[in-house]
């Protein structure tokens, strides 16, 4: 229904030209590196090359699927038939080169380069339907099962990189189509880098291990972070962990349909500021998750987004003490009328491995 829903939002003289991989995937439900989706108020077409045509013909049901030939002519013919005069483009995602080419090849059409089409796509993508929620839950379930398998392997002497590889292998073996992003497995001093890259560093007794990871299932991503202690943590480590946990729970309790991304951020951030660690929490509190790992709604100090009903958002405050250690705790949740439903079911009590 995604394509028809978009069509219904267009003026009678408008057509939408969707070239970006993520929006094509969202609207058609079909992943491909090549494709052109044109949506008109009444119809549309999905054009792709020979590598994808057979699979696309089976997967894309809302609009006719055509083998790519003279692409611009094919689009021109459809627009002629539909009587459209204006083409909405993805201003946030189209390159200038692409725009110039399309303008040159379809000189009689006017191109709407406002963010109207992006705004529509972002709005649709934010509101998850039941099927999308199921895929998001399945992705998280796979990731959690993989992490549970990984825990016994986390011990002194094991390299971060090996743990990351083990985790990713296990997610795939448990049914993931892919991984949401390169898994972050950082230990000890490395854990103070929010997006550190797992390397040769070996786990040592007294380290924190932060693992930020996700699986892809049915084209939908999961995103979750947990921090574990290897051996007895110091008093400072426990204090920082408890502060981050309190911030995370406070952020979560602020979530409900209609609040701004900014107020979610503020709720979590204030706990960290009050504890005296404000300068050590540099990133945003959350982001949306869907066919992309980062999408609307965003929850940061400058966000202008609202957490709408059935949107999906992460809550992931952290404290990072350079040269010492870092802690981040992240859940991904579905925003409901009066709260949220958590996709993540892993405990947030500090586990000492």
- Given the rule CB under 5 A, which of 80-88, 231-239, 308-316, 345-353 is the region that contacts Zn ion? 308-316
- Given the rule CB under 5 A, which of 8-16, 131-139, 145-153, 330-338 is the region that contacts Zn ion? 330-338
Residue 37: alpha-carbon gap to chain centroid: 22
Which residue matches tokens 């002519």? 73
Compute the distance between CA of residue 333 and CA of residue 223 in angstroms, rounded to an integer: 10
User: Nearest distance from residue 288's CB to Zn ion, in Å?
Assistant: 10
- Given the rule CB under 5 A, which of 17-25, 74-82, 222-230, 260-268 is the region that contacts Zn ion? 222-230
Cβ nearer to Zn ion, comparing 40 with 225: 225
Q: Does residue 144 touch Zn ion according to CB under 5 A?
A: no
Q: Does residue 223 touch Zn ion according to CB under 5 A?
A: yes
Work out which of 212, 265, 305, 331 binds Zn ion, going by CB under 5 A: 212
DSSP states of 273-297:
HHTT-GGG--S-SEEE-SSSSSEEE
Cβ nearer to Zn ion, comparing 36 with 314: 314
- Given the rule CB under 5 A, which of 37-45, 89-97, 201-209, 218-226 is the region that contacts Zn ion? 218-226
End-to-end CA distance of the chain: 47
Q: Does residue 295 touch Zn ion according to CB under 5 A?
A: no
Which residue matches tokens 């790992």? 293
Compute the distance between CA of residue 48 and CA of residue 54 in angstroms, rounded to an integer: 10
Work out which of 79, 196, 314, 319 binds Zn ion, going by CB under 5 A: 314
Q: Does residue 265 touch Zn ion according to CB under 5 A?
A: no
Cβ nearer to Zn ion, comparing 66 with 221: 221
**Pick from 249, 311, 236: which is nearest to 280 by CA?**
236
**Pick from 315, 250, 249: which is nearest to 283 by CA?**
315
Question: Which residues sit opposite 38 in a β-bridge?
Answer: 17, 45
Q: Does residue 285 touch Zn ion according to CB under 5 A?
A: no
Residues 208 and 325: beta-carbon distance below 8 Å: yes
Residues 45 and 63: beta-carbon distance below 8 Å: yes
Q: Does residue 140 touch Zn ion according to CB under 5 A?
A: no
Which 225-264 positions form the footprint of Zn ion (CB under 5 A)? Answer: 225
Q: Which residues contribute to the site for Zn ion (CB under 5 A)?
A: 212, 223, 225, 314, 330
């Amino acid at each position: 229904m995604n394509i028809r829903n978009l069509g219904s939002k267009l003026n009678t003289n408008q057509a939408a030209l969707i070239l970006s991989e993520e929006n094509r995937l969202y609207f058609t439900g079909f992943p491909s590196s090549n494709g052109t989706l044109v949506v008109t108020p009444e119809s549309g077409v999905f054009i792709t090359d020979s590598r994808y045509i057979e699979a696309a013909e089976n997967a894309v049901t809302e609009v006719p699927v055509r083998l790519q030939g003279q692409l611009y002519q094919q689009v021109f013919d459809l627009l002629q038939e539909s009587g459209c005069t204006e083409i909405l483009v993805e201003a946030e995602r189209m390159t200038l080169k692409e725009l110039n080419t399309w303008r040159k090849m379809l000189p009689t059409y006017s191109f709407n380069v406002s963010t109207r089409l992006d705004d529509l796509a972002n709005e649709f993508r934010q509101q998850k339907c039941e099927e999308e929620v199921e895929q998001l839950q399945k992705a998280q379930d796979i990731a959690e099962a993989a992490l549970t398998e990984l825990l016994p392997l986390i011990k002194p002497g094991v390299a971060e990189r090996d743990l990351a590889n083990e985790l990713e292998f296990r997610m795939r073996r448990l049914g993931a189509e892919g991984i949401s992003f390169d898994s972050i497995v950082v230990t000890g001093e490395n854990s103070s880098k929010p997006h550190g890259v797992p390397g040769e560093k070996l786990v040592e007794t007294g380290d924190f291990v932060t693992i930020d990871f996700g699986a892809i299932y049915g084209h939908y991503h999961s995103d979750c972070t947990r921090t574990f202690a290897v051996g007895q943590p110091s008093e400072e480590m426990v204090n920082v962990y408890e502060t981050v946990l309190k911030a995370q729970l406070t952020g979560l309790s602020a979530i409900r349909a209609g609040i701004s991304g900014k107020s979610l951020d503020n709720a979590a951030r204030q706990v960290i500021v009050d504890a005296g660690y404000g300068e050590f929490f540099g990133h945003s509190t959350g982001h949306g998750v869907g066919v992309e790992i980062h999408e609307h709604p965003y929850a940061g100090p400058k966000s202008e987004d609202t957490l709408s009903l059935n949107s999906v958002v992460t809550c992931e405050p952290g404290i990072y003490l350079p040269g010492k250690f870092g802690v981040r705790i992240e859940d991904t949740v579905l925003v409901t009328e009066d709260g949220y439903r958590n996709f993540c079911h892993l405990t947030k009590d500090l586990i000492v491995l």
